Amino acid sequence: MQPINQLFALACPLPLENVDTDQLIPARFMKESRAAGYGAFLLHDMRFDRDGSPREFILNHPDAEHAQILVARRNFGAGSSREAAVYALVDFGFRCVIAPSFGDIFASNAVNNGLLPALVSEQDCELLLGALANNVGQIQVDLTAQKITLGDISVGFDINPTWKLKLLNGWDDIDLTNAEAATIERFRESYRNHYPWLG
């Protein structure tokens, strides 16, 4: 995975609560090959009419195709534990989602795919959404400092320390384990010395 330290990128506001994984990628698209990318299916039924005509929606804004940050309201990524919801966000180009709360499994899947779930207070979320004012705008996200900056607004965000370590280094779970290889080997040697009959 590509490490994340600082992002200075376009952000899209999505001032909705309870955006669930079925909205992020409707189930009918999950039969498609991931190799082609799932970005076109992200929030499909919000973005398009039944006949495929694009609606007036922030992700259909011309600048949105370059956005890497999404700002949403609470309970983002709730619902079923479909990793394809994260694939859709990542394949669209997002590297960070800012929200007051996330579905637990969604947040874990996000980190494992290099997507930063930045947890902010509801008050700070509303400040960011208000400053964006339903338009695409520039935001800076500093993972090391756990700070988000938009114009004169600067807010902190929370993240699990282990998730932070993984994202800063671009590590998956195997990389995280390998980082402790020396400690694991010392334990193994100590264990063998104490219990030599175990072989």
pLDDT at 190 (0 to 100): 78
- Write the burial class of residue 117 (CB in 10 Å: 0-12 exposed, 13-18 middle, 19+ buried): buried
pLDDT at 199 (0 to 100): 62
CATH number of 6-171: 3.20.19.10
Task: Give the Cα separation of 185 and 77 in Å (integer).
Answer: 38
pLDDT at 187 (0 to 100): 82
pTM above 0.85, yes or no: yes
Q: Low-confidence residues of the chain, pLDDT below 50?
A: none
DSSP structural state of residue 53 = P
Spatial strand order of the sheet with 6-14 comes to 116-119, 96-99, 69-72, 6-14, 137-142, 147-150, 153-156
Give residue-wise pLDDT tens across range 44-99. Answer: 999 999 999 999 999 999 999 999 999 999 999 999 889 999 999 999 999 999 99
Q: Which helix (H) or strand (E) holds 51?
A: none
pLDDT at 192 (0 to 100): 80
Mean pLDDT over each residue of the chain, to the nearest integer: 93
The domain locations on the chain are 6-171
Amino acid (1-letter code) at residue 146? Q
